[in-house]
Amino acid sequence: MREAILAITIILLAAGLSSSPQADKTGRDPVILPKQSQLLHIEVNSFWRTNCYILAGKRRQAIVIDPGDELEMVGRDRYRATGEHAQRIYDLLQQHKLTLKYIVLTHGHLDHIGAIGFLKERTGAEIIMHAGDVRDGYAKDTHMFVDGLPKVDRTVIDGDYLRLDGMVLQVIHTPGHSPGGICLRTRQGDQPILFSGDTLIRRTVGRTNFRDGSGDQELLLKSIREKLYTLPDSTIVYAGHYPPTTIGEEKRENAFVRP
């Protein structure tokens, strides 16, 4: 039903088993979502059913991850963002009195980026992604939008930390689905959390058979095995599509990639 597709839900971050996450050069693991943090979710785009996540810190500053939009096809491989879901994302920010500071793109595919122009215009938030998915300053699929999209403000690399309002997330570069695909690792209390984009999805993985040749299946499987399957089994995985899962479940049940 349409109401189910457009439903907005609040995801509760429950405490889990203790983990042994990666440490920075000081020997400490700095990633954290403070106790007061909030994680919101909205499903965008009725065809791809892309997941957009909003993280809010203790002073109500926010990060939006993968703000897609409803897309109208206007020609061969040409689309227009309708603003439908962009407005819903913005309304959700307003409803919770959040100030959007960062728009983080896990990769540059059209179903994950359609709302960035709408949100950039209204909030001035900084657009952040890996340079591997940037083309001439823009997210890689920007050329498919007839009205264009704003330029990327800042690029990140593997191991970088994103810090905002007490929240700290670590960038994990996981190429394969796209050259600049990233995941974001954090934790709340002892519960490890991963935003996996289209790298690892419940019981499947992101596709790699793109006409432009940008996908690489072997590289994708390598990224998952070496960078994601090494995370604690209790890690909650919030993917770009479909319901959440855990690293342990995927190691046991994902037929596309075995440990």
Fold type of domain 2-253? Metallo-beta-lactamase; Chain A (3.60.15)
Instruction: Please check the confidence at residue 167 and state whether its pLDDT lies above 80.
Output: yes
Its sign, for the CA torsion 129, 131, 132, 136, is positive
3-state secondary structure of 147: coil
Percent of the chain with pLDDT over 70: 90
Give the type of residue at 138.
Y
Hey, where are the domains in the chain? 2-253
Contact 185, 192 (CB under 8 A): yes
Average pLDDT over residues 105-116: 98
- Res 215: pLDDT: 84
Give the number of other Cβ atoms within 10 Å of residue 223's Cβ: 24
Band of residue 23 on the pLDDT scale cut at 50, 70, 90: low
Hunting for tokens 């209204």 — which residue is that?
122
pLDDT in tens, 45-88: 889 999 999 999 999 999 999 999 999 999 899 999 999 999 99
Give 237's pLDDT tier (boundaries 50, 70, 90).
very high
More confident residue, 28 or 125: 125
Q: Please give the share of the chain, as a percent, with pLDDT higher than 90.
A: 82
pLDDT at 211: 82
pLDDT of 16 reads 34
d(CA 238, CA 223): 17
- The pTM assigned to this predicted structure is 0.91
From 2-16, 105-119, 204-218, the region with the lowest mean pLDDT? 2-16
The predicted structure's pLDDT at residue 259: 86
Tokens of 116: 């960035």
Q: Could you give the C-alpha distances from 68 to 33, 41, 94, 166, in angstroms and in order?
A: 24, 12, 18, 26
Tokens of 45: 């785009």
What is the structure's pLDDT at 13? 43
Residue length of the chain? 259
Q: How confident is the model at residue 1 (pLDDT cuts 50, 70, 90)?
A: very low
Query: What is the pLDDT averaged over residues 132-136?
Result: 97
The Cα-based distances of 119 to 26, 99, 224 in angstroms read 36, 11, 31
How many CB atoms lie under 10 A from the CB of residue 190? Answer: 12
Mean of pLDDT values over 93-117: 98
Contact 125, 114 (CB under 8 A): no
Distance, in Å, from the CA atom of 249 to the CA atom of 204, rounded to the nearest integer, reads: 12
**Cβ atoms of residues 71 and 95 within 8 Å:** no
Q: What is the distance between the alpha carbons of residues 49 and 67, in angstroms, rounded to a whole number? A: 12
pLDDT at 110 over 90: yes
- Kindly report the average pLDDT of the chain as a whole number: 91
Q: How confident is the model at residue 4 (pLDDT cuts 50, 70, 90)?
A: very low
Distance from CA of residue 27 to its chain's centroid?
27
Q: Identify the residue with better confidence: 45 or 129.
A: 129
What is the C-alpha separation between 97 and 92, in angstroms, rounded?
Answer: 8
